[in-house]
Amino acid sequence: MTNDSFRWRTILEVAVISTVIYVLLGTPGLPASFTGKSSGDNNIPISRAKTESLVYPDKNLSCPNHNVDIHIFSTSPLIIYIDGFVSESEAEHLVQASSDKWRVSTVFNQGVESTNESVRKSEKALIDRDEIVQCIEQRALSIQGWPDETFIERLWTQRYNVTGHYAHHYDWATSSKQSRRVSTFMVYLSANCEGGGTNFPRLQMSKDPRWCEFIECDGALDAEGVTFNAKRGNAVFWTNFDAEGRGYKETIHAGMPVTNGTKVGLNIWTWYQAGHVAPE
């Protein structure tokens, strides 16, 4: 197989992949059998995300065309490595937009917010929604096929300096049978660092050496599973639930420690809310 056949660049191919994502997101709506629990009856943690945190594009928003290379790592759960999700200028814009907004990242334990550097050591910034940010929000929806009643949560950036990390966790989130955080993008805005990859300990390594461009293959990291390399402008996308509403155990993941330099990431979370419509 040639390198050209390993990449998808055309509108048709991206559209096909978007359809696959849409189906694996469960199509619009949840099945009646949704229980709010993961497989194995593990409770999915209650989300603090509310509909007030959802964002909507300006009516006259106009976004330039943007091409990406999409590489499907897994179909169940759907996990995709996206080469060129944001441009160099967009990445730099988001880093600069965060520069005066950094604050210590927190964790929640039984509904209580606190700092715990053994779990999460980083800084976060809630960025303003200018035209560039809104176009990135819409890009995230378009890659997923614009599913009904599905929206983007307000975007946060994350900065990891030396020893910065985020221990293994899920992005599962649900507040009722009719709402859930269906998918995640982890976007790398700045990766002037060593370490800092995104590790999925329950995934199996690919046997195809071409993946070594995007994942850690040389065994230098003391980590199980698969670690996606942090590369500026690229992203990892994954779905958090199956079509029956069960959280995928395979999506447990961690931000590996930065051993040198600084990493800046962007979280994009997609939220399904039954019956919710964008305001006029």
Beta-bridge partner residues of 187 = 235, 266
- Report CA-CA distances (Å) from 214 to 78, 85, 206, 230, 232: 16, 14, 11, 8, 12
- Of 223 and 208, the structure prediction assigns the larger pLDDT to 208
Tell me the mean pLDDT in the region 275-280.
85
State how far the Cα of 228 lies from the Cα of 213, in Å rounded to an integer.
9
Cβ neighbours of 274 (radius 10 Å): 14
State how far the Cα of 82 lies from the Cα of 71, in Å rounded to an integer.
6
Which residue do the tokens 């990892």 mark? Answer: 236
pLDDT digits (tens, 9 = 90+) for 15-49: 555 555 555 555 444 333 333 334 333 444 444 44
Which residue do the tokens 């049978």 mark? Answer: 177
The closest alpha carbon to 143, from 197, 56, 70, belongs to 70
Which residue do the tokens 């998808």 mark? Answer: 8
State how far the Cα of 270 lies from the Cα of 2, in Å rounded to an integer.
34
| Out of 7-21, 56-70, 112-126, 202-216, least confident range | 7-21
Q: Is the pLDDT of residue 243 over 80?
A: yes
Full DSSP string of 210-276: GGGGTB--SS-S--SSEEE---TT-EEEEE-B-TTSPBPGGG-EEEPPEEEEEEEEEEEEEEEETT-
Q: Is residue 201 a contact partner of residue 250, using CB atoms and an 8 Å limit?
A: no
State how far the Cα of 233 lies from the Cα of 84, in Å rounded to an integer.
5
Task: State the angle between helix axes of 11-24 and 131-143 in degrees (0 to 180), rounded to the nearest 10.
Answer: 70
What predicted TM-score, i.e. pTM, was given to this entire model?
0.83
The one-character DSSP state at 152 is E
